[in-house]
Structure 1
Amino acid sequence: MEHVDARAVLFDRDGTLVEDVPYNGDPLAVRPMEGAVAAVAAARAHGLAVGVVSNQSGVGRGLLTRDQLTAVNARVDEIFGAFDTWQICPHTPDDGCHCRKPEPGLVLAACAELGALPEETVVVGDIGGDVEAAERAGARSVLVPTPATRAEEVWRADNVADDLPTAMRLVLS
């Protein structure tokens, strides 16, 4: 990863910070990905602001309520410590919003809230939409593939890490 001093790291939620449970409305179903808690702690220990940028179309689809989403996100905060910003897109892919990844809206809103320029920000996620949202916003990215990540998303990404601790080493190096 080309070196630029990062001021903020934005994490995708499902499949990156926590195990992906489709349209999860149950805080008891929240399980951190291996190494995720340590990775977020490492970012904080290096003085970086940390945030979450997450598409949650289950709200727009009527599959979970905003209260359920809030409860799940509160559980994530309990596990990891409170994030400095939460940017959530509740829209469906057909809504045509500017926040839903791969659009840059969530990343730009997080940067604005954190007082970090996009070029001082790294987005860490598990799919191409996370990488593309970072690129469109002018931020850097690290892809941490899961079984859900498509092969073309991996070869297209500039920075790929096997796991979140490795991703944080890339960010902090």
Structure 2
Amino acid sequence: MNKAVFLDKDGTLIPDIPYNIDADLITLQPDAVDGLKRLQNDGYQLIIISNQSGVARGFFKEDSLLAVEDRVRELFDFNGLFLSGFYYCPHHPSGSVSAYAINCDCRKPMPGMLIKAAAEHNIDLTISWMIGDILNDVEAGNRANCQTVLIDNGNETEWVKGDYREPTIICRCINDAADEILTKVMA
């Protein structure tokens, strides 16, 4: 079985511009590329796991996310990285687009996207990691039986504690997360 690092997109992998689908505005965090390369070199598949409630809220159409995925893949290629998967949840229970205004098991903090990615990529979740910038990312990873990293960059504003909301590691960026993950795995 394979191992993976699941990455939240907005605020973790790329700067957080709310509801952005403009590919020209998408860049990788400057303190992410080296860490992603080291994780990839250690055999981790890199997979994006992202809530995209802008679809349910009527801010953009679901097919707009194709350009976002294409741009992220282009940035990965440019930096010598390979993106194994791009998973997103277009739902939100308070959405204005009825087809997407639902409760689902894919919207983080639920683990549906991670479980789907694991099945499609033959991933052992117990040796995989979820990296995100809010506790809903951590909860999704923990619910999927991954180890988890909270990127404490100021994006978590609620700090609601719970059974699944304690990260394995807290650090400031993906490069630091890679250091911690690779040290922990070798220990």
Superposition TM-score, scaled by structure 1 size: 0.89
Unaligned 5+ runs, structure 2: 95-101
Instruction: Describe how 1:19-168 pairs up with structure 2 within 5 A.
Output: 19-81=15-77, 82-94=82-94, 95-150=102-157, 152=159, 156-168=166-178
Secondary structure in structure 2 of the residue aligned to 1:42? helix
CA positional deviation for 1:153: 6.1
Unaligned 5+ runs, structure 1: 1-5
Q: How many residues align?
A: 168
Structure showing greater radius of gyration is: 2
Bigger Cα displacement from structure 2, 99-108 vs 81-90:
81-90
**Identity over aligned pairs, percent:** 35
Whether contact under 8 Å (1:8, 1:121) holds in the other structure is yes
CA distance in 1, matches of 2:103, 2:159: 25
CA positional deviation for 1:158: 3.1
CA distance in 1, matches of 2:182, 2:160: 23
CA positional deviation for 1:102: 0.1
Equivalent residue number for residue 97 of structure 2:
none
- Greater helix share, 1 or 2? 1
Secondary structure in structure 1 of the residue aligned to 2:83? coil
Which amino acid in 1 is paired with 2:116? Answer: A
Question: Deviation above 2 Å: which 4+ runs of structure 1?
Answer: 150-158
Which amino acid in 2 is paired with 1:76? Answer: V
Whether contact under 8 Å (2:149, 2:177) holds in the other structure is yes
CA deviations 1:55-80 (Å, max 9, x no partner) are: 00111111112232110121011112
Which amino acid in 1 is paired with 2:13? Answer: L
Whether contact under 8 Å (1:127, 1:153) holds in the other structure is no
